[in-house]
Structure 1
Amino acid sequence: MPSFRLPLPGINLRERFKKPGIELLGLPVKLLPSAVVNKPLTKAINQIFHVPVKEGDFDFLEDRCLKIQITDINVSFYISFDGRQLSATTPRRFDVDIHDVEFQGDSKSFLKLASRQEDPDTLFFQRSLMIEGDTELGLGVKNLLDSLELEQLPIPVQKLAWLGQQLQKKIQPIPAH
């Protein structure tokens, strides 16, 4: 008589055998040492936000830490401000993340935010993006990002935003009939 085994409780076979997907995009970031990731990220965010930093728009973030968690690729970035420049950091002490506020969302939601396809309030009300921790600090960051005009940002960032808009159009779900 043939025997077969039932799956163990708590194990989702669909999850266990699914094809690799978007979560693989985060793998290079996770495999590289944090210094290799943080140095170019620090340079990029300071170029992108050069004018707002110079004008003091980030002063409220001084000596504070913002965590950005991209949930579908399981990658986190930490951003802080020392009064002169923004820095990508890895604030870990005894394997505990140290941050004041955290923005969470999937890559699609962050892409919509960066490409200005959705305003931050809509993404937060839809629970596509979430703020945890110091909500006042998080709202300050959200309001600052919302107040920046795309035209104020460097040309490469404007081109990336345009590319993000084009990609977003291509990955829109096809409506069911």
Structure 2
Amino acid sequence: MTSNPPPMFRTVVLGSTSVYRRELLSRLRLPFEVAAPGVDETPLTGEQPQALALRLARAKAQAVAARHPEAVVIGSDQVADLAGLALGKPGTHDRAVEQLRRMSGHTVIFQTALAVVCQASGFEQVDLAAVRVRFRTLHEQDIENYLQAEQPYDCAGSAKSEGLGNALLESIESDDPTALVGLPLIRTARMLRAAGVKLL
């Protein structure tokens, strides 16, 4: 009869400054630290949204793991994929208006990538949670009212789904419900367990 080895008690570090990811990870009720990855998020020439999200999630985890080699580090990134066009964080009101006009009446795939890395143990896993979102046909006043209420300028595709952003949508399809907010917790829990972190 074989038994599983006991989990190693390593520090967990969230490699992100996102308040949304911090709140989501806290739902797993494990102690963790937060560190800014300091990664350049500029897309490479011709880089597709899925590849961009995966590359940045891994880069963020690796950058923080280089400073915390004994820790289990979580990196994540989200890119809105509109028929191959990558929509990131708008940053400004005008860019948010442009993004929402583009997405109006269309299906957008929110590519949420996740990487978990531990340098000391040599552990690395990367995964992707794709969320299909169908937007309603949005009128200009809908867009303005939403942006004034939520100011979602730090959200990929200007979509703050945990708030009034739900009023913009027709439907959401996902196998990992929190992925649209920015951190797929089902995958996160699975990868943390694989890295030796005890959750329950």
TM-score, with normalisation over the residues of structure 1?
0.25
Of structures 1 and 2, the one scoring higher in RCO (CA 8 A, sep 6+) is 2
Q: Which has the higher helix share?
A: 1
Q: Which has the larger radius of gyration?
A: 1
